[in-house]
Structure 1
Amino acid sequence: MLDRVFSVLKDLPGGKPERGGMDDDPRLAVAALMYHVMDADGRRQDSEWESIKHLLAETYGIKGDELKTLIREAVKADQEAIDLYAFTSPIKRHLDAEGRKAFIAMLWDVVYADGVLHEMEDNIIWRVAELIGVDSRDRVEARRKAAASYAVQHPHENKGS
């Protein structure tokens, strides 16, 4: 599944995040939504940060200063945003239906990185999925797969509620 996510998201056009907005670099929208989902429960866990960094680095083949800049600009964009549309619009425009489903799966990976699903995280992914045209069945299936993957990877850890 992650191979599909990486191959689809690698095709997004990119540029220097600090020079343009999300229309110029939709990777910024992807990173901002990852951050937004991570921050939804009010707790920024190291495991979630590492998941975001890993997913962005693997997806876009970036590291070091370029990765730090993308993340810094994504955090700033999220903090300045008044709604999710600024993030979902470029994603919907640049990804096909399969790519949008893969992106939702990626968001679930960020959520489950800390082993806990918070109702706010669930709600945000539901809203993002609706805005980018991913139906409920596909969203729920992606959630199930991410939850099962976490359980397999960390069978002895407490998963919370």
Structure 2
Amino acid sequence: MLNRIMTFLQGDPEEEEIGRKDKVQLAAAALLFEAARMDEGIGPEERAVIADIVRRRFSLSEEEARSLAEAAHKETQGPAQWHRFTSTLKDRFDEAERIEMIEMLWEVVYADGHLHDLEASLLRRVGGLLYVSDRDRGAARKRVLDRMGLSDPAPDA
């Protein structure tokens, strides 16, 4: 799987068509890393949550999830590319899957137990780019807070 993702990232002309599944998985994992990066870096809690999310969501083995996470982390080094990632997901996910993506992002954002104002801003922007309504985004946030046993904290500045 890592070889297919690296081929996609390098743009090998012989293997131009990497497949819908791999592109979607990479875009989703990359967005999760973008969310983790918003509060001054990616902590070990966030890395563990990302690996667990992609393993569960895409039915991957531990090794495949680790490879995907590594590729996504490398892909997000440098300037943010939210539009590229969200465009891939918007085109390939149905409404329920886009809302699930927002839930996955909330899980990463709350991995450290705090909501930074930049994280909240990212979720608003990504929600708009994925065509997820404010109401659905808020409901997704509430479901994640309930699952994690957290109260509704105000964003940290």
Is TM more than 0.5 here? yes
In structure 2, relative to structure 1, the CA distance for the partners of 1:82 and 1:33 (3 Å cut) is closer
Give 1:29's aligned residue. 27
User: 1:130 deviation in Å?
Assistant: 0.3
Aligned counterparts of 1:145 and 1:66: Cα–Cα separation in 2: 27
Q: Which runs of 5+ in 2 are unaligned?
A: 10-17
Local SS of the residue matching 2:129: helix
Paired residue for 1:73, among 66, 71, 74? Answer: 71
Aligned counterparts of 2:41 and 2:145: Cα–Cα separation in 1: 19
Give 1:10's aligned residue. none
Q: Tell me which stretches of 4 or more aligned residues in structure 1 moved more than 6 Å.
A: none
Q: Which moved more, 1:58-67 or 1:137-146?
A: 58-67
Give 1:122's aligned residue. 120
User: 1:83 deviation in Å?
Assistant: 3.2
Paired residue for 2:5, among 11, 17, 37? Answer: 17
Local SS of the residue matching 1:79: coil
Cα RMSD for the two superposed structures: 2.5
User: 1:147 deviation in Å?
Assistant: 1.9
Q: Which runs of 5+ in 1 are unaligned?
A: 1-14
Q: Which amino acid aligns with 2:149?
A: A
In structure 2, relative to structure 1, the CA distance for the partners of 1:64 and 1:148 (3 Å cut) is closer
User: 1:160 deviation in Å?
Assistant: 8.9
CA contact under 8 A between 1:115 and 1:160: conserved in structure 2? Answer: no
Give 2:103's aligned residue. 105
- Using the size of structure 2 for normalisation, the TM-score is 0.80
Give 1:144's aligned residue. 142
User: 1:143 deviation in Å?
Assistant: 1.2
Aligned counterparts of 1:116 and 1:145: Cα–Cα separation in 2: 16
Q: 1:63-112, CA deviations, whole angstroms, 9 ceiling, x for partnerless residues?
A: 34432321122112212445311100110011011110111011111111
Give 2:13's aligned residue. none
Paired residue for 1:91, among 89, 92, 106? Answer: 89
CA contact under 8 A between 2:55 and 2:62: conserved in structure 1? Answer: no
